[in-house]
RNA sequence: GCCCGAGUGGCGGAAUGGUAGACGCAGGGGAUUCAAAAUCCCCCGGUAGCAAUACCGUGUGGGUUCGAGUCCCACCUCGGGCACCA
């Protein structure tokens, strides 16, 4: 009998599928279509276990839907623009384009052996000029439809490297290479008008029934609709021509508790006052330091500056001081808020710090204690008692009070009810080389002019260098200088490129007609769109998906997508992440390095340290030091010739060697930049693709994060070998008994369970059922024919997960044609019906016994049998039951 | 700091409000073998007990219910996102 040999089986069947063209998507009007898409990868050059998990899930769905008779589209491409290519160029002197395409071909080589049912004929990379040229065409269409505009926005500015930094390049408010404190600087940038669609994007979430609830919730919170009010506060002494400060508030019901006004450092009034107030100017400059992330802003210490100005309370007879506060954002609301310390913890901390008054606007019923150092912030639906409310409110909820207060202000003409959204317009300008050039030209005479479509793509020049920080396009005169498309006079190209989120916001549409000379083709988009099942990481729950939803609408407006595609993803599944420990140099140990040597050496050393602070798992030896995981650099340790199995040697080395104390951070998101990416190729080499596929699908529920461990692959491999042996034995075996019905019943239950598992994205439970069925089949006392039929069904049920082995087994058992082309087995519902059922008997909710009864036995009869059981008698100990609950077919509970 | 999610044996995990721990991994015992690998069989949450069985047990503390891993409230820990990582 031959043994299971994945190495010979897998290439054979991959070739067979290729030759049969099994996975080429074709528009077939006679069949329903199914478009399954996994988020395309960034071409890092190595596939990691997260890819294997993601693409295997998609493949299971694709193969299953094909078996169900759908015409399936299952494409693959590359999200190929982005910073890592430029970083690599800077580090090694290569070119981002060469680096990227080399990575793509390497990664594709690694993906092919997985046997995923991908239509490779549709492959593209977002850095292909054919792709980004069409993206530029979209941009021009958007410009025409007024969906794009320019305005100023802040960026992270590194004052030493004289360059814009990405948020991830800002570490503790400092530039990652220079170590200089980052400043916020304004630049003119391009924006998509996504905020015009806030209401629509929010409303449409309700229609996305097959999206995870949590993703819809996250998006709704991100869009952040709020009803509030703009209230005008008159300055008691107008200054610099400014008479009023307009505050936006979602809590006007707390106006009685207002004790100060806080304006943003960038508020027009604050800026105006800077001229005559050096201290304020210095304060504002200080506020403008640090990163631009919301997190950095929120976590920064709350600081204020008293302008000395006051405003009139619009509803009460008193004045409020005007402060500049670093926590007030200019781009949300009006850049000014009123502070109500009693009912907002941040305002309270601020008030205590600067000794401002704290006044309760309301109390909880029956408790008139004034606020101390903890703000009183009950749920808006809770009833509270208002204090001296100017609109005469007494005991009511904040929810109700907000509405009534807004009405009051509107009636008095002192405020305007407003609906606002947190969602901001999407800034797409990036001051970087490796991205899609924004196809516009700046002309002294004509202003900003879109490039002509016939001149697209505006292609990236190849002759650039990365030896100086900043955007090489900016320093490239022959590329930058051009003729104005409108008047023909000398002009300059836009040197900013697009955010890579733009690339990934329409690739799903491009897959329907990847070679077209327009962004999409109507017939193809009509047939293939929408994506029926989209699968990807939860980390994309907000931005990528929201941007794509906006883009689909914008493309519809420009005639590139049908109406039905305004929501492009019918169903979404977010897989959990595969996590793995990170190995990084213990930063505490690095500090002394900065302090030694001359200035230039110090900087060099710190840059060097920042660049190589993460190690790959294969580069380290991990050990346990009194419960703390640590690691040392493998190569350096091995050079000492000491025994790595003796942990004392490792501890000693860890402590002594300056370069090698490595911290282990368990269970972190796998990330290219952190080098904690697990290499699945080893498993494939050793056991084959089917084992890797089976293992990642059986390991844990797909939506949950999973910590990668190597153990388990062995078990998966053993099981597949067992299935192979069983198939071989059944193929030439004889009858083992006559109980065909029992086997067939179990077979149908298995079909049902496996199908349910796939439909419900609970692949691990499908696999558990297949394990169980393997046991059943191995032990079944049935006729040879029935065992063969059952084995063929098992091959079919396994085929989405382990397609190569399934084909092999299918062939052994005389299955017709390719299993990849076979129909999914059907369940006979009659075979699922059981005539008798085992009922657990509980006393006070604790299981005491069980009975086996006919399925439809009536309640009274069941009750009698249950009470008579030994376990119940013992538990009751002669007492009479108070009540008996019989749930037919489920359980009996006796209340004693 | 704000928003979202997750916590069940040694491990991955299963469980329409109805027998907690299916299925797998690891471990233990046995069979087979000259021996090993491979394979097959049995055991496997904790405590007590020869056993039958009893008690405890799904991050912590409360609550709803005949019955809670599941629903509600509060908290703890971990993970994701926070608009220039992709």
Q: Is the dihedral of CA A603, A604, A607, A612 positive or negative?
A: negative
Integer Cα distance of A857 and A695 in angstroms? 43
pLDDT band of residue A76 (cuts 50, 70, 90) is very high
What are A539-544's contacts with CB under 8 Å, separation 24+?
Answer: A539/A577, A539/A669, A540/A39, A540/A574, A541/A214, A541/A215, A541/A218, A541/A219, A541/A574, A542/A218, A542/A219, A542/A222, A543/A501, A544/A39, A544/A501, A544/A504, A544/A505
Averaged pLDDT of chain A = 87
Give A87 or A503, the one with higher predicted confidence.
A503
Over range A848-863, report the average pLDDT: 87
Kindly report which listed range (A143-152, A670-679, A809-818, A860-869) carries the lowest average pLDDT score. A670-679
Measuring alpha carbon to C1', the residue closest to nucleotide B85 is A168
Q: Residue A585: what pLDDT?
A: 57
Which tokens in the block code for residue A64? Answer: 């299953």
Q: Which nucleotide is nearest to A666 (CA to C1')?
A: B78
Over range A521-539, report the average pLDDT: 95
Q: Which nucleotide is nearest to A425 (CA to C1')?
A: B83
Which secondary structure element, helix H or strand E, spans residue A189, and what is its range? strand A183-192
Task: Give the distance, in angstroms, between residue A667 CA and nucleotide B48 C1'.
Answer: 39
DSSP state letter for A624: E
pLDDT band of residue A588 (cuts 50, 70, 90) is very low
Closest CA to A547 of A213, A194, A217: A194
Q: Residue A590: what pLDDT?
A: 37
Closest CA to A377 of A351, A342, A406, A349: A342
Q: Which residues contact A614 (CB under 8 A, 6 or more apart)?
A: A582, A583, A584, A673, A674, A675, A676
Q: Residue A494: what pLDDT?
A: 95
Which secondary structure element, helix H or strand E, spans residue A441, and what is its range? strand A440-443
Q: Measuring CA to CA, how many Å separate A811 from each of A495, A744, A806?
A: 59, 21, 9
User: In the predicted model, is pLDDT for residue A381 greater than 60?
Assistant: yes
User: In the predicted model, is pLDDT for residue A111 greater than 60?
Assistant: yes
Predicted confidence (pLDDT) per residue in A8-42, tens digit: 999 999 999 999 999 999 999 999 999 999 999 99
* Strand B bases contacted by the protein (CB, 7 Å): 1-6, 11-16, 18-20, 22-26, 38-41, 53-55, 66-68, 78-86
User: In the predicted model, is pLDDT for residue A56 greater than 70?
Assistant: yes
Task: Give the distance, in angstroms, between residue A230 CA and nucleotide B73 C1'.
Answer: 35
Measuring alpha carbon to C1', the residue closest to nucleotide B4 is A218
Measuring alpha carbon to C1', the residue closest to nucleotide B23 is A768
Q: Which nucleotide is nearest to A778 (CA to C1')?
A: B40
Q: What is the C-alpha end-to-end distance of chain A, expressed in Å? A: 62
Measuring alpha carbon to C1', the residue closest to nucleotide B84 is A166
Task: Give the distance, in angstroms, between residue A817 CA and nucleotide B39 C1'.
Answer: 32
Contact between A71 and A34 (Cβ < 8 Å): yes
Query: What residues form DSSP beta bridges with A892?
Result: A841, A886
Q: Which nucleotide is nearest to A889 (CA to C1')?
A: B18
Q: Residue A643: what pLDDT?
A: 57
Q: Which nucleotide is nearest to A871 (CA to C1')?
A: B53
Q: Which nucleotide is nearest to A167 (CA to C1')?
A: B84
Task: Give the distance, in angstroms, between residue A407 CA and nucleotide B22 C1'.
Answer: 60
pLDDT band of residue A405 (cuts 50, 70, 90) is very high
Predicted confidence (pLDDT) per residue in A175-231, tens digit: 888 888 898 888 999 999 999 999 999 999 999 999 999 999 999 999 999 989 999
Q: Which nucleotide is nearest to A715 (CA to C1')?
A: B25
Kindly report which listed range (A20-24, A251-255, A588-592, A772-776) carries the lowest average pLDDT score. A588-592
Q: How many residues appear in chain A?
A: 896
Over range A478-507, report the average pLDDT: 94
Task: Give the distance, in angstroms, between residue A801 CA and nucleotide B81 C1'.
Answer: 31
User: In the predicted model, is pLDDT for residue A595 greater than 90?
Assistant: no
Predicted confidence (pLDDT) per residue in A444-479, tens digit: 999 999 999 999 999 999 999 988 888 899 989 899
ipTM for this model: 0.94
Over range A628-647, report the average pLDDT: 61
User: In the predicted model, is pLDDT for residue A295 greater than 70?
Assistant: yes
Q: Which nucleotide is nearest to A668 (CA to C1')?
A: B79
Task: Give the distance, in angstroms, between residue A836 CA and nucleotide B66 C1'.
Answer: 25
pLDDT band of residue A55 (cuts 50, 70, 90) is very high
Over range A598-606, report the average pLDDT: 35
Task: Give the distance, in angstroms, between residue A272 CA and nucleotide B44 C1'.
Answer: 76
Give A240 or A893, the one with higher predicted confidence.
A893
pLDDT band of residue A620 (cuts 50, 70, 90) is low
Measuring alpha carbon to C1', the residue closest to nucleotide B16 is A890
Task: Give the distance, in angstroms, between residue A771 CA and nucleotide B41 C1'.
Answer: 18
Task: Give the distance, in angstroms, between residue A873 CA and nucleotide B53 C1'.
Answer: 14
Q: Is the dihedral of CA A185, A187, A190, A195 positive or negative?
A: positive
Dihedrals phi, psi of A81, to nearest 5 degrees? -85, 160
A383 conformational bin, left if phi > 0, alpha if psi -120 to 50, beta if neither: beta
């Amino acid at each position: 009998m031959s043994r299971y040999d994945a190495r010979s089986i897998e290439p054979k069947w991959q070739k067979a599928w290729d030759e049969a063209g099994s996975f080429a998507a074709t528009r077939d009007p006679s069949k329903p279509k199914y478009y399954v898409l996994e988020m395309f990868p960034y071409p890092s050059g190595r596939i990691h276990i997260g890819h294997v998990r993601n693409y295997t899930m998609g493949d299971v769905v694709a193969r299953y839907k094909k078996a169900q008779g759908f015409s399936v589209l299952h494409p693959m491409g590359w999200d190929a623009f982005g910073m890592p290519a430029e970083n690599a160029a800077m580090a090694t002197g290569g070119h981002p384009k060469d680096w990227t395409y080399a990575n793509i071909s390497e990664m594709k080589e690694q993906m092919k052996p997985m046997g995923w049912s991908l239509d490779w004929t549709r492959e593209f990379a977002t850095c292909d000029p054919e792709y980004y040229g069409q993206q530029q065409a979209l941009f021009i269409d958007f410009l025409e439809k007024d969906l794009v505009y320019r305005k100023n926005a802040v960026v992270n500015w590194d004052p030493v490297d004289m360059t814009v930094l990405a948020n991830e390049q800002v570490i503790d408010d400092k530039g990652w290479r220079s170590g200089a404190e980052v400043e916020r600087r304004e630049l003119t940038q391009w924006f998509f008008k996504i905020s015009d669609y806030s209401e629509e994007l929010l409303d449409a979430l309700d229609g996305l029934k097959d999206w995870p609830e949590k993703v819809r919730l996250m998006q709704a919170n991100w869009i952040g609709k709020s009803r509030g009010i703009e209230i005008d506060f008159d300055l008691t002494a107008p200054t610099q021509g400014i008479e009023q400060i307009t505050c936006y508030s979602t809590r006007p019901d707390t106006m009685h508790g207002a004790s100060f006004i806080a304006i943003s450092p960038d508020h027009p009034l604050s800026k105006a006052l800077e001229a005559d107030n050096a201290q304020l100017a210095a304060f504002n400059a200080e506020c403008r330091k640090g990163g631009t992330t919301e997190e950095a802003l929120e976590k920064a210490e709350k600081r204020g500056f008293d302008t000395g100005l006051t405003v009139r309370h619009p509803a009460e007879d008193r004045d409020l001081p005007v402060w500049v506060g670093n926590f007030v954002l200019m781009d949300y609301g009006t850049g000014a808020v009123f502070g109500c310390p009693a009912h907002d913890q941040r305002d309270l901390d601020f008030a205590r710090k600067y000794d401002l008054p704290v006044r309760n606007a309301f109390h909880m019923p029956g408790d008139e204690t004034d606020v101390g150092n903890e703000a009183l912030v009950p749920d808006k639906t809770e009833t509270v008692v208002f204090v001296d409310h100017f609109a005469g409110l007494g005991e009511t909820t904040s929810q109700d009070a907000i509405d009534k207060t807004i009405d009051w202000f509107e009636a008095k003409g002192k405020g305007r009810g407003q609906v606002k959204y947190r969602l901001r317009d999407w800034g797409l300008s990036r001051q970087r080389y490796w991205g899609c050039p924004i196809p516009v030209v700046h002309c002294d005479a004509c202003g900003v002019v879109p490039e002509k479509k016939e001149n697209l793509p505006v292609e990236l020049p190849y002759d650039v260098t990365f030896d100086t920080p900043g955007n090489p396009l900016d320093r490239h005169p022959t590329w930058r200088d051009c003729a104005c498309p409108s008047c023909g006079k000398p002009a300059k190209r836009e040197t900013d490129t697009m955010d890579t989120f733009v690339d990934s916001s329409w690739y799903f549409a491009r897959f329907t007609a990847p070679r077209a000379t327009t962004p999409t083709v109507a017939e193809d988009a009509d047939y293939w769109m929408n994506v029926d099942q989209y699968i990807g990481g939860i980390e994309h729950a907000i931005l990528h998906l929201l941007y794509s939803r906006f883009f689909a609408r914008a493309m519809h407006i420009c005639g590139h997508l049908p109406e039905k595609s305004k929501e492009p993803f019918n169903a979404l599944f977010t897989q959990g992440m595969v996590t793995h420990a990170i190995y990084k140099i213990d930063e505490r140990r690095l500090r002394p390095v900065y302090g030694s040597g001359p200035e230039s050496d110090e900087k060099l050393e710190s840059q060097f340290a920042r660049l190589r602070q993460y190690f790959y798992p294969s580069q380290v030896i991990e050990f346990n030091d009194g419960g703390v995981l640590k690691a040392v650099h493998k190569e350096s340790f091995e050079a000492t010739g000491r025994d790595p199995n003796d942990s004392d040697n490792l501890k000693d080395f860890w402590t002594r060697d300056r370069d090698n104390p490595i911290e282990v951070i368990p269970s972190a998101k796998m990330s290219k930049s952190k080098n904690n990416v697990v290499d699945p190729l080893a498993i494939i080499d050793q056991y084959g693709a089917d084992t890797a596929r089976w293992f990642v699908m059986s390991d844990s529920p797909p939506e949950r994060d999973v910590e990668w461990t190597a153990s388990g692959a062995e078990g998966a491999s053993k099981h597949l070998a067992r299935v192979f042996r069983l198939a071989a034995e059944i193929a030439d075996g004889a009858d083992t008994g006559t109980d065909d019905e029992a086997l067939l019943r179990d077979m149908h239950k298995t079909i049902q369970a496996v199908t349910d598992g796939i439909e419900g994205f609970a692949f691990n439970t499908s696999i558990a059922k297949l394990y169980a069925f393997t046991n059943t089949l191995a032990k079944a006392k049935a006729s040879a024919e029935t065992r063969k039929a059952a084995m063929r069904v098992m091959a079919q049920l396994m085929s989405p997960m382990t397609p190569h082995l399934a084909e092999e087994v299918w062939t052994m058992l005389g299955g017709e044609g390719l299993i990849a082309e076979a129909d999914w087995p059907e369940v006979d519902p009659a075979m699922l019906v059981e005539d008798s059922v085992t009922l657990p008997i509980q006393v006070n909710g604790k299981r005491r016994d069980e009975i086996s009864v006919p399925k439809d036995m009536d309640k009274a009869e069941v009750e009698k049998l249950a009470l008579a059981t030994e376990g119940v008698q013992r538990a009751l100990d002669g007492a009479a039951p108070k009540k008996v609950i019989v749930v037919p077919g489920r359980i009996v509970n006796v209340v004693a």
